[in-house]
Chains A and B, each alone.
Chain A
Amino acid sequence: MNAWLISALALLPGVLACVWVCARSDVIAGLAALELAGTLSTVELIMLAEGIHRQPFIDLALVLAVMSLIGSLAFARLLERL
Protein backbone atom coordinates (compact mmCIF):
# COMPACT_ATOMS: atom_id res chain seq x y z
CA MET A 1 0.00 0.00 0.00
CA ASN A 2 1.60 3.25 -1.12
CA ALA A 3 1.11 6.88 -0.06
CA TRP A 4 -1.54 7.50 -2.72
CA LEU A 5 -3.75 4.67 -1.57
CA ILE A 6 -3.31 5.67 2.08
CA SER A 7 -4.32 9.23 1.14
CA ALA A 8 -7.38 7.95 -0.72
CA LEU A 9 -8.34 5.99 2.39
CA ALA A 10 -7.77 9.05 4.58
CA LEU A 11 -10.21 11.09 2.47
CA LEU A 12 -13.09 8.64 2.97
CA PRO A 13 -14.21 10.16 6.31
CA GLY A 14 -14.62 13.45 4.44
CA VAL A 15 -17.02 11.80 2.00
CA LEU A 16 -18.92 10.25 4.91
CA ALA A 17 -19.17 13.69 6.55
CA CYS A 18 -20.74 15.02 3.33
CA VAL A 19 -23.24 12.14 3.31
CA TRP A 20 -24.12 12.94 6.93
CA VAL A 21 -24.72 16.63 6.14
CA CYS A 22 -26.83 15.73 3.08
CA ALA A 23 -28.99 13.43 5.21
CA ARG A 24 -29.39 15.62 8.30
CA SER A 25 -29.23 19.29 7.27
CA ASP A 26 -31.37 21.67 5.23
CA VAL A 27 -31.42 21.57 1.46
CA ILE A 28 -28.88 24.37 0.77
CA ALA A 29 -26.39 22.89 3.24
CA GLY A 30 -26.97 19.53 1.55
CA LEU A 31 -26.15 21.07 -1.81
CA ALA A 32 -22.92 22.52 -0.40
CA ALA A 33 -22.05 19.06 0.93
CA LEU A 34 -22.88 17.52 -2.46
CA GLU A 35 -20.48 19.92 -4.18
CA LEU A 36 -17.73 19.05 -1.73
CA ALA A 37 -18.45 15.34 -2.16
CA GLY A 38 -18.01 15.76 -5.93
CA THR A 39 -14.60 17.35 -5.43
CA LEU A 40 -13.56 14.71 -2.89
CA SER A 41 -14.66 11.85 -5.16
CA THR A 42 -12.77 13.33 -8.10
CA VAL A 43 -9.61 13.62 -6.03
CA GLU A 44 -10.13 10.06 -4.76
CA LEU A 45 -10.17 8.80 -8.36
CA ILE A 46 -7.01 10.76 -9.19
CA MET A 47 -5.29 9.20 -6.18
CA LEU A 48 -6.47 5.71 -7.13
CA ALA A 49 -5.26 6.20 -10.71
CA GLU A 50 -1.85 7.24 -9.43
CA GLY A 51 -1.76 4.65 -6.64
CA ILE A 52 -2.47 1.60 -8.77
CA HIS A 53 -1.15 3.00 -12.08
CA ARG A 54 -4.41 2.53 -13.95
CA GLN A 55 -4.87 5.28 -16.53
CA PRO A 56 -8.63 4.74 -17.09
CA PHE A 57 -9.35 6.02 -13.56
CA ILE A 58 -8.00 9.44 -14.47
CA ASP A 59 -10.56 9.57 -17.32
CA LEU A 60 -13.26 8.78 -14.78
CA ALA A 61 -12.01 11.63 -12.58
CA LEU A 62 -12.16 14.08 -15.48
CA VAL A 63 -15.69 13.01 -16.42
CA LEU A 64 -16.82 13.13 -12.78
CA ALA A 65 -15.47 16.68 -12.38
CA VAL A 66 -17.53 17.89 -15.36
CA MET A 67 -20.67 15.91 -14.46
CA SER A 68 -20.48 17.07 -10.84
CA LEU A 69 -20.40 20.68 -12.04
CA ILE A 70 -23.41 20.17 -14.31
CA GLY A 71 -25.41 18.32 -11.65
CA SER A 72 -24.73 20.85 -8.91
CA LEU A 73 -25.58 23.77 -11.19
CA ALA A 74 -28.85 22.05 -12.13
CA PHE A 75 -29.68 21.53 -8.45
CA ALA A 76 -28.91 25.18 -7.67
CA ARG A 77 -31.15 26.42 -10.48
CA LEU A 78 -33.91 24.05 -9.37
CA LEU A 79 -33.70 25.23 -5.77
CA GLU A 80 -34.11 28.84 -6.90
CA ARG A 81 -37.54 27.95 -8.26
CA LEU A 82 -38.82 25.71 -5.45
Chain B
Amino acid sequence: MSEVIADVLLSAGVLVLLMCAAGVLLMRSAYDRLHYAAASGWGAVLVVAAVLARESLSLIGDKALVTGAALALTTPVLAHATARAARIRERGSWNAPLGSAAARRRSG
Protein backbone atom coordinates (compact mmCIF):
# COMPACT_ATOMS: atom_id res chain seq x y z
CA MET B 1 0.00 0.00 0.00
CA SER B 2 2.80 2.43 0.89
CA GLU B 3 4.40 1.70 -2.50
CA VAL B 4 1.21 2.77 -4.28
CA ILE B 5 0.97 5.95 -2.20
CA ALA B 6 4.63 6.70 -2.89
CA ASP B 7 4.15 6.20 -6.64
CA VAL B 8 1.10 8.48 -6.71
CA LEU B 9 2.89 11.21 -4.73
CA LEU B 10 6.00 10.85 -6.88
CA SER B 11 3.99 11.18 -10.11
CA ALA B 12 2.16 14.21 -8.76
CA GLY B 13 5.43 15.86 -7.72
CA VAL B 14 7.06 15.26 -11.10
CA LEU B 15 3.95 16.61 -12.84
CA VAL B 16 3.95 19.79 -10.72
CA LEU B 17 7.68 20.34 -11.34
CA LEU B 18 7.31 19.82 -15.10
CA MET B 19 4.38 22.25 -15.18
CA CYS B 20 6.54 24.80 -13.35
CA ALA B 21 9.32 24.30 -15.91
CA ALA B 22 6.81 24.68 -18.77
CA GLY B 23 5.51 27.88 -17.18
CA VAL B 24 8.99 29.35 -16.81
CA LEU B 25 9.73 28.41 -20.43
CA LEU B 26 6.49 29.66 -22.00
CA MET B 27 5.51 32.79 -20.07
CA ARG B 28 6.44 36.14 -21.59
CA SER B 29 7.35 38.41 -18.67
CA ALA B 30 9.77 37.81 -15.82
CA TYR B 31 7.02 38.39 -13.23
CA ASP B 32 4.85 35.68 -14.79
CA ARG B 33 7.81 33.32 -14.82
CA LEU B 34 8.47 34.00 -11.14
CA HIS B 35 5.00 32.67 -10.23
CA TYR B 36 5.91 29.30 -11.69
CA ALA B 37 9.39 29.24 -10.15
CA ALA B 38 7.86 29.95 -6.71
CA ALA B 39 5.34 27.11 -7.08
CA SER B 40 8.11 24.54 -7.58
CA GLY B 41 8.49 24.15 -3.79
CA TRP B 42 5.17 22.26 -3.76
CA GLY B 43 6.49 19.77 -6.28
CA ALA B 44 9.49 19.16 -4.04
CA VAL B 45 7.17 18.69 -1.05
CA LEU B 46 5.20 16.01 -2.95
CA VAL B 47 8.40 14.15 -3.88
CA VAL B 48 9.62 14.29 -0.27
CA ALA B 49 6.22 13.00 0.86
CA ALA B 50 6.72 10.08 -1.54
CA VAL B 51 10.12 9.36 0.03
CA LEU B 52 8.56 9.46 3.51
CA ALA B 53 5.70 7.17 2.43
CA ARG B 54 8.26 4.61 1.29
CA GLU B 55 11.06 5.01 3.82
CA SER B 56 9.27 6.46 6.85
CA LEU B 57 11.67 8.33 9.16
CA SER B 58 14.87 6.54 8.18
CA LEU B 59 18.17 8.33 7.54
CA ILE B 60 17.17 9.16 3.95
CA GLY B 61 13.66 10.07 5.09
CA ASP B 62 14.89 12.49 7.75
CA LYS B 63 17.24 14.30 5.41
CA ALA B 64 14.68 14.39 2.62
CA LEU B 65 12.25 15.94 5.10
CA VAL B 66 14.75 18.67 6.02
CA THR B 67 15.54 19.29 2.35
CA GLY B 68 11.86 19.49 1.42
CA ALA B 69 11.14 21.86 4.29
CA ALA B 70 14.06 24.06 3.21
CA LEU B 71 12.79 24.15 -0.39
CA ALA B 72 9.18 24.79 0.61
CA LEU B 73 10.19 27.68 2.86
CA THR B 74 12.83 29.29 0.66
CA THR B 75 11.30 29.23 -2.83
CA PRO B 76 8.67 31.91 -2.01
CA VAL B 77 11.35 34.00 -0.28
CA LEU B 78 13.56 33.74 -3.37
CA ALA B 79 10.68 34.69 -5.65
CA HIS B 80 9.97 37.73 -3.49
CA ALA B 81 13.64 38.79 -3.48
CA THR B 82 13.82 38.36 -7.26
CA ALA B 83 10.62 40.34 -7.86
CA ARG B 84 11.98 43.08 -5.60
CA ALA B 85 15.22 43.16 -7.60
CA ALA B 86 13.25 43.36 -10.85
CA ARG B 87 11.16 46.25 -9.55
CA ILE B 88 14.21 48.16 -8.31
CA ARG B 89 15.86 47.67 -11.72
CA GLU B 90 12.72 48.97 -13.44
CA ARG B 91 11.85 51.91 -11.22
CA GLY B 92 14.96 52.79 -9.24
CA SER B 93 13.27 52.01 -5.91
CA TRP B 94 10.97 49.20 -4.82
CA ASN B 95 8.19 51.61 -3.81
CA ALA B 96 8.55 54.23 -6.56
CA PRO B 97 5.42 54.52 -8.75
CA LEU B 98 5.85 54.23 -12.51
CA GLY B 99 6.72 57.64 -13.99
CA SER B 100 8.17 58.99 -10.71
CA ALA B 101 11.41 60.97 -10.51
CA ALA B 102 13.34 57.88 -9.46
CA ALA B 103 11.99 55.92 -12.40
CA ARG B 104 12.79 58.77 -14.81
CA ARG B 105 16.32 59.03 -13.43
CA ARG B 106 16.72 55.32 -13.91
CA SER B 107 15.50 55.35 -17.52
CA GLY B 108 17.16 58.65 -18.51
Contact = CB atoms under 8 A, between A and B. Distances in A.
B92 to A, nearest CB: 10
A59 B59 CA distance: 10
Interface residues of B, number: 47
Given A4-B10, A35-B75, A80 B64 contact: no
Given A33-B33, A65-B74, A72-B82, A47 B40 contact: no
Nearest to A62: B67
Contact of A11 (B18, B63, B70, B74): B18
Contacts of A50: 51, 54-55, 60, 64
Given A10-B14, A43-B44, A76 B33 contact: no
Interface of A: 3-4, 7, 10-11, 13-15, 17-18, 20-21, 25-26, 28-29, 31-33, 35-36, 39-40, 42-43, 46-47, 49-50, 55, 58-59, 61-62, 65-66, 69, 72-73, 76-77, 79-80, 82
B34 to A, nearest CB: 5
12 contacts: A3-B10, A14-B17, A29-B24, A29-B33, A33-B24, A35-B40, A35-B75, A43-B13, A50-B64, A59-B63, A62-B70, A65-B67
